[in-house]
Amino acid sequence: MTSTRTIPNSLTLQFLIFLSILISCVESSNQSTSTTAMDNGDFRLRLIDSDSPLSPFYDPNRTIYDRSTALIHRSITRLHHLQSSIKSPDYLIAAPLTSEDLDYIVNFWAGTPPSEITAILDTGSKITWFQCLPCEKCFNQTKPIFDPSKSSSYRDLTCISGPCQQLSSTSCESGLCKYGATYGDGSFSDGSLAIETFTFNTADRRSTSLLGVVFGCGHKNGGRLYKNDLAGIVSMGQGPLSLINQLNQRRFSYCLVPRGATMVSHLQIGITPLLAGKTTPFFQVEGSEHLYYLSLDDISLGSEPLHIPLKAFKPSKYQGLIIDTGTSIDILDSSGFDLVIRAVQRVMKLKEVTDPHQELELCYEGTMGDLVGFPSLTYHFVNGADLVVGSKNLFQQVADRVVCLSMLRNDDSISIIGSKSQENYIVGYDFHTKLISFGPYDCSQF
């Protein structure tokens, strides 16, 4: 069964078809293109983490220690790019597309007839984009690169269109809108801002088509980009041109199974995604409106409150706590990180040792099995919402008989709750109320 959902709002399907034929005339007269609505209903997508045997990027030759190291490298790189996007509004995308840096991928189809796209799902990006022909410069991609000239539903957007006015880092060529994205490591994507039909295969074996989705059609892409099936990014951030902000039913939730599992995680979009447990507000901060900032009350280890300095975690332009699916492990401002370190040291009974890779600060001699019964770490948010992180996610095995606290220090005031701490939780976002919720759940059953 196939359902079709429509962007823009209050237009009949007949008028949308007429609009797609005469889009240039409509844009000239209206000064904008409506891309803001989708009809009622839900759909669920499969999310695959890069460490799963189900991932096209899975490498069976990598050991659990290799994957542990990759989590750390991925988080460090991600932090650098998030900080770059915060300090420079011209950074459209927060993270580069490398084998070390992707976390969750999603497959969908673009165009009419449809072409398959494999992309990163990212809550820290401003815009959805992927590679397009003709390529002035493209990174290697084993699947065919999307060819907009073969799609009857593709339309370039003009410089006077609404989406072009909403996006930073745009330019105008022959009346058409061009976007440019630059990364902190020198990677880049440049191309045309356009609209297209996206089709998703849902978890219940149906397909759902979204008409008139604004995206970046990248004709010039380069840098440290992954050379395989990956084509781009699907944005689920707070920016006006993220996929979620182009939908009328502005609510979504995801439930992440433990990393490396042979089951898939799921993302649900629509009017009924679960908001499980207590809620806490999420915020936008000037200059980084695409990111999800949370307001932290305290952190505790077991029953011991740490009394963190709240000033360092208050949402503001260059500091605060972000929740992010593209960062693997948690990263805390030094003032909070030091309190966590001291609290763990007071409770831990294992012998303290040095990380053989010299990447994580607090390590012990032992295995993950030795941590059974170790107290959980809890993030306490305003309004009473809690995110409880058990020992399986609080620590990671980095070498034979060496376990380390799975957390990084940041001296630059930005803190991040990564995807590892969100495993086996229903994390729900409601854009109408600006609330996020955390509900413990067996995500293999979501």
DSSP for 51-85? TSTTSTT--TT--HHHHHHHHHHHHHHHHHHHHHH
Segment 391-406 mean pLDDT: 96
- Of 205, 45, 196, 38, which is closest to residue 112 (Cα–Cα)? 196
Segment 253-267 mean pLDDT: 87
Q: What is the dihedral of CA 287, 293, 298, 301, to 10 degrees?
A: -120
Specify which of 77-91, 224-238, 259-273, 311-325 reaches the highest per-range mean pLDDT: 311-325
The answer to whether residue 195 scores a pLDDT higher than 70 is yes
Q: pLDDT tens, 336-361? A: 999 999 999 999 999 999 999 999 99
Segment 348-377 mean pLDDT: 96
The answer to whether residue 44 scores a pLDDT higher than 70 is yes
The pLDDT value recorded for residue 58 is 78
The answer to whether residue 225 scores a pLDDT higher than 90 is no
CA dist 156 and 239 (Å) reads: 20
The pLDDT value recorded for residue 92 is 44
The answer to whether residue 232 scores a pLDDT higher than 50 is yes
The answer to whether residue 51 scores a pLDDT higher than 70 is yes
- Of 417, 444, 424, 437, which is closest to residue 124 (Cα–Cα)? 417
Per-domain residue ranges for the chain? 42-269, 275-440
The pLDDT value recorded for residue 102 is 56
- CB neighbour list of residue 375: distance below 8 Å, 6 or more residues apart: 301, 302, 303, 304, 347
Q: What is the percent of the chain where pLDDT is above 90?
A: 48
Residues with active-site annotation: 122, 324
Given phi > 0 = left and psi -120 to 50 = alpha, else beta, which region is 201? Answer: beta
Q: pLDDT band for position 268 (50/70/90)?
A: confident
Neighbouring C-beta atoms of residue 369, cutoff 10 Å: 8
Burial of 167 (0-12, 13-18, 19+ CB in 10 A): buried
The answer to whether residue 96 scores a pLDDT higher than 80 is no
Taking CA atoms, 436 is separated from 199, 272, 279, in Å, by 27, 14, 5
The answer to whether residue 31 scores a pLDDT higher than 90 is no
pLDDT greater at residue 432 or residue 77:
432
Segment 281-287 mean pLDDT: 86
Segment 273-288 mean pLDDT: 82
Task: Give the least confident one: 44-53, 73-82, 406-415.
Answer: 73-82
The answer to whether residue 34 scores a pLDDT higher than 60 is no
Neighbouring C-beta atoms of residue 258, cutoff 10 Å: 17
Q: What is the residue-averaged pLDDT of the chain?
A: 82
Q: pLDDT band for position 117 (50/70/90)?
A: very high
Specify which of 49-53, 275-279, 374-378, 415-419 reaches the highest per-range mean pLDDT: 374-378
Segment 99-124 mean pLDDT: 82
Backbone φ and ψ for 283, nearest 5 degrees, come out as -125, 155
DSSP state of 443: G
CA dist 73 and 153 (Å) reads: 40
Backbone φ and ψ for 433, nearest 5 degrees, come out as -100, -10
The answer to whether residue 288 scores a pLDDT higher than 50 is yes
Q: Say which amino acid occupies 183.
A: Y
Q: What is the percent of the chain where pLDDT is above 70?
A: 81
Segment 101-113 mean pLDDT: 84
SS3 234: strand
**DSSP strand pairing (230-235 vs 115-122):** parallel
Segment 426-446 mean pLDDT: 92
What would the two tokens of residue 91 be? 């950074």
Backbone φ and ψ for 164, nearest 5 degrees, come out as -65, -35
Contact 52, 256 (CB under 8 A): no
pLDDT greater at residue 27 or residue 245:
245
The pLDDT value recorded for residue 331 is 95
Segment 197-218 mean pLDDT: 86
- CB neighbour list of residue 44: distance below 8 Å, 6 or more residues apart: 202, 203, 204, 266, 267, 268, 269
Q: pLDDT band for position 135 (50/70/90)?
A: very high
pLDDT greater at residue 382 or residue 69:
382
- CATH superfamily assigned to domain 275-440: Acid Proteases (2.40.70.10)
Contact 219, 207 (CB under 8 A): no
Q: Say which amino acid occupies 198.
A: F
The answer to whether residue 431 scores a pLDDT higher than 70 is yes
- DSSP assignment of 245-312 equals GGSSS-EEEEEBPPTT-SS-EEEEESS-----S-EEEEE--TT-TTSEEE-EEEEEETTEE----GGG
We find that the CATH architecture of domain 42-269 is: Beta Barrel (2.40)
Segment 220-225 mean pLDDT: 73
Q: pLDDT band for position 297 (50/70/90)?
A: very high
Taking CA atoms, 95 is separated from 39, 179, 188, 381, in Å, by 31, 17, 10, 27
Helix (H) or strand (E) holding 437: strand 435-440
Q: Is there a shared CATH topology between the 42-269 domain and the 275-440 domain?
A: yes
- CB neighbour list of residue 265: distance below 8 Å, 6 or more residues apart: 46, 47, 48, 49, 104, 254, 255, 256, 257, 443, 446
Q: pLDDT band for position 204 (50/70/90)?
A: low
